[in-house]
Amino acid sequence: MSEPKVSDPKGSGSKIADQAPITIKKYANRRLYNTATSSYVTLEHLARMVKEGEDFIVYDAKTGEDITRSVLTQIIVEEEAKGGQNLLPIGFLRQLIGFYGDSLGGLLPRYLEHSMQMFLHNEEQMRQTMQNALGGLFPFGRFEDMGKQNMALFESAMKMFSPFMGQGQQPPSPAAPQAPSENQDLQDRLDRLQRQVDELSKKQ
């Protein structure tokens, strides 16, 4: 039986709303197989699918385990290694690593996801403003304000999670698990911060 050829996801047709995620299988030889197009694909193809809004789930062909997270992480590593555009500052990566195994680590994904949603909301506003700009005028000031606002919100959250970071000090060594009351207090502070973000988004 001949091996399926490598296919370009762009040729798979237009996206359909609410379409079921495409199943990608990863084999022991590290090859990725797109079951929708019956063809092998690469990480670069999967990156393009993400940018085009095509949803997919990656399974280990042998165990059936969902390995989508690790594959997406590999895509990010490859994109960062290209050197053309680095989206993950070193300081951010150090802080992120510091939260692994920390009692507050469970709260961070929720905040990061919410922050990304806010950024995407501002991105749409920026694109719309660019389309409406006339006479060669470009509203740098407004975009800069949005960027500063996003960064301020993110930095305030990071300081709330780890008050020693951002002050030139090394992250403290892992401490004993915090009492439920302390975790609840931090959860309340995170909720208040998210309400502030929601209020800011409504004003824009």
Q: CB atoms < 10 A from the CB of 145, how many?
A: 13
Total residues found in the chain within this entry: 204
Location of structure tokens 């407004």:
142
Give whole-number Cα distances, 164 to 2, 115, 145, 169, in Å.
58, 21, 26, 6
In 3D, which of 30, 34, 60, 64 has the Cα closest to residue 49? 34
Tell me what pLDDT residue 98 has: 92
Q: Write down the pLDDT at residue 32.
A: 97
The residues spanned by each domain of the chain are 9-81, 90-203
pLDDT in the model for residue 8: 44
Q: What is the pLDDT of residues 19-55, one digit of tens each?
A: 899 999 999 988 999 999 999 999 999 999 999 999 9
Q: What is the pLDDT of residue 120?
A: 82
Q: Is the distance from CB of 86 to CB of 76 less than 8 angstroms?
A: no
* For the chain, counts of helices (H) and of strands (E): 6, 4
Q: Which residue has the higher pLDDT, 70 or 178?
A: 70
Mean pLDDT of 117-134: 75
Radius of gyration of the chain (CA): 21
User: Tens digits of per-residue pLDDT, 88-101?
Assistant: 999 999 999 999 99
Cα separation, 3 vs 6, in Å, equals 9
CA dist 48 and 42 (Å) reads: 10
Nearest partner of 21 among 61, 66, 63, judged by Cα: 66
